[in-house]
């Protein structure tokens, strides 16, 4: 059927996510997506300060999305915020700006929606970066 939603796993596998709302074991599917480490200044040897994160999504006011941002491959986020997917509509979509204000050698963005059977469509993530201090490598 169309559309087919695919998702990648850490093991390198790609899975079809929208068959009957369940995975192959029959468990409901929730959303958890994580970016790689982001730093546009790494080749300059500088860390990055993320000032804002703009999220462009399809409006679904009954849905709440958790956004966590992790520094330097940490398991503890320096930023966490729940956003309701509502707002003024532009063809059923809108932007929401989050004030992050965090510096790190690399930033990982995690999106979570644990409530199954809720449609979540993220069209774009736009982090706003400025160069920070020199990268300090731990030994």
Burial 46-66 (b: 16+ CB within 10 A, else e): bbbbbeebebebbbbeebbbb
Q: If residue 81 lies in a helix (H) or strand (E), which one and from where to where?
A: strand 79-85
Query: Band of the pLDDT at 18, cuts 50, 70, 90?
Result: low
Residue 5: pLDDT over 80: no
Alpha carbon distance 90, 32 (integer Å): 26
Beta bridge partners of 113: 31
Residue 112: pLDDT over 60: yes
Residue 1: pLDDT over 60: no
Q: What is the pLDDT of residues 77-90, one digit of tens each?
A: 999 999 999 988 87
Arithmetic mean of pLDDT, 110-127? 86
46 three-state secondary structure: strand
Strands, sheet with 60-71, edge to edge from the N-terminal-most edge strand: 31-34, 107-113, 60-71, 79-85
Q: What is the pLDDT of residue 67?
A: 97
Q: What is the pLDDT of residue 21?
A: 57
Q: What share of residues in the chain are helix, strand, coil (percent, to 5)?
A: 0, 55, 40
In this prediction the pTM is: 0.79
Q: What single DSSP character describes residue 28? A: B
């Amino acid at each position: 059927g169309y559309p087919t939603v695919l998702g990648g796993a850490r093991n390198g596998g790609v899975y079809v996510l929208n068959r009957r709302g369940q995975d192959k074991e029959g468990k409901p599917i929730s959303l958890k997506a994580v970016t790689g480490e982001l730093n546009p200044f790494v080749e300059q040897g500088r860390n990055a300060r993320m000032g804002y994160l703009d999220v462009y999504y399809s409006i679904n006011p009954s849905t709440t999305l958790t956004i966590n941002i992790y520094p330097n491959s940490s398991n503890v986020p320096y930023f966490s915020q729940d956003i309701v997917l509502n707002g003024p509509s532009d063809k059923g979509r809108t932007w929401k700006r989050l004030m992050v204000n965090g510096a790190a050698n690399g930033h990982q963005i995690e999106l979570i929606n644990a409530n199954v059977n809720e449609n979540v469509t993220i069209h774009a993530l736009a982090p706003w970066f400025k160069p920070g201090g020199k990268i300090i490598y731990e030994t």
